[in-house]
Amino acid sequence: ESITGMRRALELEPLSLMINVELGDMLLFARQYDQAIEQYRKTLDLDSSFVRAHVQLGQVYGQKGQYEEAISELKKAISLNSEDNYAIQLLGYMYAISRRTSEAYKALEELKERAKRTHVLPYDIAVIYVGLGEKDRAFEWLEKSFAERDEGLLYLRVDPALDSLRSDPRFADLLRRV
C-alpha cells in the first residue's frame, strides 16, 4: 500500500525530492532492492547534492552486498553534510558487515563522542552493534532507544539492518512494547 501511495504522490509531484526518496525507501523496506536503487538514482538525477538520496542509496547497496558502492555513497553523503549522524551510522554498519571491523568501531566511537555534545539516537549505535554481531550490545542500545522514545524505533519492523535480530525473543518483546 505504501508503494502504491508513494507512486501516486510522485505522479502529483514528480520533482519533489522527498517524495522521490520516500518511494525508494518504501521499495527498500519491501526488499525490492533493484527498484530502490533505480529510484534513488532518479532522485540524484534531479539533485546530485541531495544527501538523503546518497545515504539511502548507500544503504540499499549494502543490503545487496555491494559494500564498496555502499561505502562510496555514504562517504559522498558525509562530504556533503558532515553532521549527518545517520550517514555515519550506516557507514559504520557497512564497515561492520563487510568485515572492516576497526573502521566500524571508529564510526561507533565517533557517534559516542558526538553524543557528548549533541543528540545521537541510541538506535544508530544499536545498528552498528548489529552489524558487528554484538547482539547483546545491540539490544542494550535498543532498550535505551525505547526508554528515550527514539524516533529510530519507527523503523523497527522494516529496517533490513535488524533482520539478524528478528528471530531473537528479545526483538519480539521490544516490538510488542513499541
Instruction: Answer for the pair 152, 124: CB distance below 8 angstroms, yes or no.
Output: yes
Cell 555534545 found at: 117
User: How far are the Cα atoms of 27, 38, 152, 172 from residue 2, in angstroms, in the given order?
Assistant: 9, 17, 19, 23
pLDDT-derived band at 59, boundaries 50, 70, 90: very high
Over range 4-25, report the average pLDDT: 96
Distance, CA of 135 to CA of 54 (rounded, Å): 28
Q: What is the mean pLDDT of residues 5-16?
A: 96
- The proportion of the chain whose per-residue pLDDT surpasses 90, expressed as a percent, equals 99
Q: pLDDT confidence of 17, banded at 50, 70, 90?
A: very high
pTM over the 0.75 mark? yes
Question: Quick one: pLDDT at residue 147?
Answer: 97
Question: Could you give the CA distance from residue 85 to residue 78 in angstroms, rounded to a whole number?
Answer: 9
Give the pLDDT score at 120: 94
pLDDT in tens, 74-106: 999 999 999 999 999 999 999 999 999 999 999
Question: Cα angle at 34 between 25 and 18, to 5 degrees?
Answer: 25
Whose cell is 528478528? That residue is 166
pLDDT, the chain, mean: 96
Give the residue from 122, 145, 146, 125 showing the smallest Cα distance to 134: 125
